[in-house]
A and B are shown apart, each in its own frame.
Chain A
């Protein structure tokens, strides 16, 4: 009987897993979860959180059942001991691709580690108007997809490599996000800048060349979109020159690897 029960539990578990993903095209990995007052808040992502652009997916459950709260809000925070700051992000909304999740964008502007740690404080307002608050620690790795530059007036601009997230040979959508810092808690998008990019392949021996590309242009909400057509795999650099309010800021460079396929 014990064996039968164990088998049944296993089958149910497998069926349960299948049911959860059956209607979803998302391929998510669990990041962390926390239970506060019988409410379990789980964070998922498409990849391990890293500096730069991340899409976060949230699920809230009570007693093992997924619930839809009246409101769910977050504020990612970096605790550096002597100071705390937030980062560019959006509030979670129901994911169009899978309504079992709430999702939001966040640009982590520094990695977690010795300098400080990231957490995501949240508030859940239930359908019963109950307010649940909590905090979810998040480990953020370093990546090549974020850089920053300062203007002469010491205003900082965060330039985020939005796409391609996984560059491959051939044509790729090339997109950047630009944010600035107004306060330690406010990082609004910058939509009126001009970007001048230049991809380059250093082939060693002091020689190299560029590839076919279309310079990104502003499309709103701090997004700049173009195309890049990698002629080969290998390590590429893409320099970005940002011009804001007539001031051309120092060039920054993204260095990354392009896969063959």
Chain B
């Protein structure tokens, strides 16, 4: 080797070193670092590994190359992946490769959906954008459907179960709807630009934490990071409903990343939309403002404290399926959370959270033609509802005689109120007033445990149990006397001890195939509406419902079977479930009070019901720039006592999405379809059959200046199909062809 060659080689090494240093420096300056997770033996990348923070909360998922991006600020992370041992590591700028040892471990059967974009992630859902609505995002997830009442405030349904039969929480917090007509599902309080991820437990097997054994959706919000200064602005316009949106989010922190503040805000305003026949669907307008502020302080000891506040204000929200519109819907949701740094003590806390929230909902029908409707004809019916909830959640782990387990403590108290004033058009008729809920108090405290047992090198057993005390009561003498009169019984606080338990078995067949099964037993006490609701109109069957404080506990057994195959560029997952309900709570007709104009039901334990079905999800990376994703879901639900289908069950439905990307140019084509639904409830409800439909949506994205500027053109329902979903209350038609242009700037 000549001196010149040696000199060149040295220079080349220096140059490479310089490039690496620059890259590392730039990477650090930008606050983002790519880290690859690989198999310790084969050195092959591990896709789909979950990255958890020190509290056990997932913060990212690796892509098909085993890579994830993270801001390194010496934080402790835990990496979990199917078939590998967990690994805990403190990040710094020198960490670029982490190897996991193959082992028997499968974190969970829960589906984790990363809310912030990760285009290269084989598991990620591609349609989430800051300007997309939370409703559309949820509807796009297999196993979830949405009960719709118009353009706003869709209610999520998991495997045919909604409302009282599922947990819908924000950062684990209980938030109760204030509207007795369910116009304000709490999903409306988290905007997409503030969603970090969704934690979906379809089977309810996570009983230790969810407390109920019900299917659970946890909307996990974005938290303050250690970025010095970031800003994300986006704005869009959609036609023909003139949806105008503007959103912003940002993060600031001090130099050491000890103190961080994240803020986000969004404003939306839409006019009535047009259905596929080009006819305007009246009363589908809305206006909404959402603000979120999160502050985080990390102590030198690596403990951290977070303060989070969400305020959401919606005005002039039209509900074409209902008799009235929401004039004002206000939510204030706050939490204070202390995260403990990891330690090796036998009994340790992971986090302690205190939270409070207040929801107020005002609606009226002053803009409606009340003189000619069939229900509550000739009168206005302004309604007001409010819920106030205070709660706490504690989580930790313990080791007793070499057995380690996680523990969870949960408690909350909530008070609900709802009234309806009836003002007749006939001025000679005195105003009427109903208390739908009056000083109805729910108290709940529960303790849960999660145990993991490695039965062999390839089989993991997870056992969870939870014991809850729940009480419901009304502090209002008149409200109490109504139920005493209705059932001719003395009323005192209704109390229950509610156990739930689950077993979850996972078999790692090989490095690609895994199979799992779970069994969940749970008991459910009726909620405040089922026990103490009065004169509550159910739009699905046209009956007014009265509660029943003496309802027996509803019990259920759910079993799940899942088989998954994952490889670097392909994955598929098939889940099947069977859920049997006993003492199913539903309404039975009060024939003594009902007539042609007013029909009444009372809640009762009506017998047994069964739900079964499954979901399939397949993702195929056809090439580096082309990816196909298919998702199907089906639920069969039967009221075994009435021998008829349960109401509002979606038919077989699916989504197929073809993604193409080349550099900063991306095209996504969605094919959304549903089969005809003929399984309808005609005894317990007034359903009719729904025709099949299929629509196509296309999204074209182009990034500019290294994706710091992004333009998006989205055309939905290209063929202008005139259709409605089976879960649309009142058969309100969906929007026809629409086009949205949005611009996003990231700083």
Most B CB contacts (10 A, CB to CB) among A172, A205, A212 go to A205
Contacts of B41 in A (CB 8 A): none
Which of A169, A203, A234 is close to B482, meaning CB atoms less than 8 Å apart?
Answer: A169
A133 at the interface (CB under 8 A from B): no
Distance (Å) between the CB of B171 and the closest chain A CB? 37
Instruction: Give Cα A74–Cα B488 distance, bound, in whole angstroms.
Output: 41
Instruction: Give Cα A209–Cα B376 distance, bound, in whole angstroms.
Output: 11
Question: Which residues of chain A (201-221) have a CB below 8 Å from chain B?
Answer: 201-212, 214
Instruction: Give Cα A97–Cα B449 distance, bound, in whole angstroms.
Output: 59
Question: Which residues of chain A (27-77) have a CB below 8 Å from chain B?
Answer: none
Instruction: Give Cα A202–Cα B434 distance, bound, in whole angstroms.
Output: 15
Q: Is the CB of B485 within 8 A of A229?
A: yes
Q: Is the CB of A212 within 8 A of B535?
A: no
Q: Is the CB of A232 within 8 A of B597?
A: no
Distance (Å) between the CB of B60 and the closest chain A CB? 54
Q: Is the CB of A171 within 8 A of B482?
A: yes
Which of A207, A228, A229, A261 is close to B377, meaning CB atoms less than 8 Å apart?
Answer: A207
Contacts of A203 in B (CB 8 A): 376, 378-379, 422, 424, 429, 432
Q: Please, what's the 1-or-0 string for A81-122, where 1 marks a CB less than 8 Å from any CB in chain B?
A: 000000000000000000000000000000000000000000
Distance (Å) between the CB of B378 and the closest chain A CB? 3
Contacts of A209 in B (CB 8 A): 593-595, 597-598, 600
Contacts of A8 in B (CB 8 A): none
Q: Is the CB of A210 within 8 A of B593?
A: yes
B430 at the interface (CB under 8 A from A): yes
Instruction: Give Cα A172–Cα B573 distance, bound, in whole angstroms.
Output: 59
Instruction: Count residues of chain A with CB under 8 A from any CB of chain B.
Output: 30
B510 at the interface (CB under 8 A from A): no
Q: Is the CB of B478 within 8 A of A205?
A: no
Q: Is the CB of A207 within 8 A of B432?
A: no
| Secondary structure class of chain A's binding surface, majority of residues | strand
Contact flag A234-B485 (CB < 8 Å), given A204-B425, A212-B593: no
Q: Is the CB of B422 within 8 A of A232?
A: yes
Q: Is the CB of B484 within 8 A of A171?
A: yes
Contacts of A231 in B (CB 8 A): 434, 482, 534-535
Instruction: Give Cα A231–Cα B536 distance, bound, in whole angstroms.
Output: 11
Contacts of A261 in B (CB 8 A): 476, 478
Contacts of B378 in A (CB 8 A): 203-207
Contacts of B476 in A (CB 8 A): 261
Contacts of B600 in A (CB 8 A): 209
Q: Is the CB of A207 within 8 A of B477?
A: no
| A-B pairs with beta carbons under 8 Å apart, 20 shown | A169-B433, A170-B481, A171-B486, A201-B432, A203-B376, A205-B379, A205-B424, A205-B425, A207-B598, A209-B597, A209-B598, A210-B593, A212-B593, A227-B485, A231-B535, A232-B433, A234-B422, A234-B433, A260-B478, A261-B476
| Residue ranges of B at the interface with A (Cβ–Cβ < 8 Å) | 371, 376-379, 422, 424-426, 429-435, 476-482, 484-486, 488, 534-535, 592-595, 597-598, 600
| Residue ranges of A at the interface with B (Cβ–Cβ < 8 Å) | 168-172, 201-212, 214, 227-235, 257, 260-261
Given A233-B432, A233-B434, output 6 extra A-B contacts at Cβ < 8 Å: A171-B484, A204-B377, A208-B597, A227-B485, A232-B422, A257-B430
